[in-house]
Amino acid sequence: MNHVSKINLSVGIGIDYESEKEDYEVDDKGNVLLIDGRHIPWEQVKTDGFDYLEISVKDETEKSQLILTEELS
């Protein structure tokens, strides 16, 4: 591959949060405990959450190469 000219980072959602809500610790105020100890509203989890990550690069000829693809959940 030639010199990298572009790095693409993609994140996405493949979770049906409502069907998996019982897997989360939701308190009586509707907040979810995150692994870093913060509490955020359930609606924010559904809006901001993602469960996969993909990194690819393109060279100056637009040839693309996948570097990483990970499912996070």
DSSP sequence for 15-55: --GGGGGGGS-B-TTSEEE-TTS-EEEHHHHHHH---EEEE
Q: Would you say residue 54 has pLDDT above 80?
A: yes
pLDDT digits (tens, 9 = 90+) for 20-48: 888 888 899 999 988 899 999 999 988 88
What single letter denotes the amino acid at residue 64?
S
Q: Residue 1: is its pLDDT beyond 60?
A: no
Write the CB contacts of 48 (distance below 8 Å, at least 6 apart in sequence): 40
Give the pLDDT score at 68.
Answer: 94
Distances (CA, A) of 14 to 46, 64, 73: 11, 24, 9
Q: Rounded to two decimals, what is the model's pTM? A: 0.59
Across the chain, what does the average pLDDT equal? 88
